Copies of this chain bind each other. A is one copy, B any other.
Amino acid sequence: MTTPKSKTPTHAPMSQWPTRDGELIVGGLPLSRLAARVGQTPFYAYDRGLLSERVAHLRAALPAAVKLHYAMKANPMPALVAHLARQVDGVDVASTGEMQVALDAGVSPTEISMAGPGKRESELHQAVAAGILVNLESAAEIGPLRAASDRLGVPARVAVRINPDFELKSSGMKMGGGPKQFGIDAEQVPQVLGQIDQAGLRFEGFHIFAGSQNLKAEAIIEAQLKCFELALRLADAAPAPVRTLNLGGGFGIPYFPGESTLDLRPIGDNLAELAARASERLPTAAIVIELGRYLVGEAGIYVCKVLDRKVSRGHTFLVTDGGLHHHLAASGNFGQVIRKNYPATIGNRAEAPLGEPVSVVGPLCTPLDLLADRMALPQARPGDLVVIFQSGAYGFSASPHRFLGHPAPVEVLV
């Protein structure tokens, strides 16, 4: 690829994906061969090797005492969950639908926890029956958990999700601090701990989740420190020893021009300190880091095919068979205020020089259906394969497949 000479911000290099003979290599296969194996475009492909490497990278950077959980909401593909489940220490689910996938993947109920506001009584009943840990988001969940426990003759395992009294700085999404639907306000926690005790639920720990998609190590460190200290304070009111202290995640990946990779080293150093303090102050507690996007986001690509290279009034459009209906986030319609391009390439010409800026669009009758806006890509023609990088998280499952009645994409783990 050509090196940009201007100071325009560029995408982080997608060096996790090798190329060979001009083609991107996915799970050892040239992309065009993988497309032939899949038998259709568009598709999502997730690379097993990259997933395992990411776990190893985290294990090397984080202290051994810290447990690593997978937040399945980022990518609930069953084969991917099964692959990761063998390598992480637990799986966090956001619904009983996700719980079933985790159980099918062979994850022990003792290693599954469920979070999310508005849990229905039937869901709480299922969770107790499964024997998983329920992160309490509201005191209103105590009654149904007790009832389920009584009916089933099975203890209800709970952790308290705390809405902290601070925010994670520079976070893509703020999920703690101020009034929130998530968790129980820190100042209410002692009272709720009393109610848990009275109801006979089995208290196991705390869950504090202050944000997500953060690329600044110092902000993550500060949040983890504050979360840890908040948990120490609240542990005094706990009806039983804290066995699990889930400090959430929030580790970001670089999506847009000018963003760069998160530096794990200082985060690991800080967690080592916290683990040492925990071994004194909360000797029964395991510190848990829960990651979704950071584990899977960079290990996935979305692939669609160029159907038409159309020039309109001097601007080139690559019209593809993929689009917003398959990859809402890449179209800029999933939480972004200003649309920016995901990193992208032409996967079967990945080593070719970049041409004039083109726009990559899909088949939908809406100008929102835009996968890349005026982006320099290798020169493409019909039949070529557009690759959208950083698509392993919040892609397939977070997109409106039915919109306009086109065929759904498929997912493969390679």
Contact = CB atoms under 8 A, between A and B. Distances in A.
Interface of A: 73, 76, 93-98, 101, 115-120, 138, 140, 163, 173-175, 178-182, 185, 307-308, 310, 312-315, 317, 319-321, 328, 333-335, 337, 359, 361-368, 382, 396-407
Given A120-B307, A307-B120, A334-B333, A406 B97 contact: yes
Given A163-B312, A179-B313, A185-B312, A73 B173 contact: no
B363 A179 contact: no
Given A179-B312, A314-B179, A97 B407 contact: yes
**Number of this chain's copies in the complex:** 2
Contacts of A116: 363-365, 404
A361 B319 contact: no
A94 B404 contact: yes
B178 A95 contact: no
Given A115-B365, A310-B138, A313-B185, A95 B174 contact: no
Nearest to A396: B402
A401 B320 CA distance: 24
A130 to B, nearest CB: 14
Contact of A308 (B117, B366, B397): B117
Contacts of A94: 364-365, 404-405
A403 B407 contact: no
Contacts of A368: 173, 334-335
Contacts of A96: 405
Contacts of A97: 404-407
A199 to B, nearest CB: 17
A308 B118 CA distance: 6
A209 to B, nearest CB: 8
Contacts of A314: 179
Contacts of A403: 73, 397-398
A365 B293 CA distance: 13
A358 to B, nearest CB: 11
Given A94-B365, A163-B312, A118 B307 contact: yes
Nearest to A117: B319
Contact of A365 (B182, B333, B401): B182
- Of the listed residues A116, A365, A382, the one surrounded by the most CB atoms of chain B closer than 10 A to its CB is A365
A396 B400 CA distance: 9
Given A367-B173, A405-B98, A118 B319 contact: yes
Q: Which 3 A-B pairs have the closest CB atoms?
A: A97-B405, A179-B315, A118-B363
B363 A119 contact: yes
B138 A319 contact: yes
Contacts of A335: 333, 366, 368
Given A179-B314, A313-B179, A315-B179, A406 B95 contact: yes
Contacts of A179: 312-315, 317
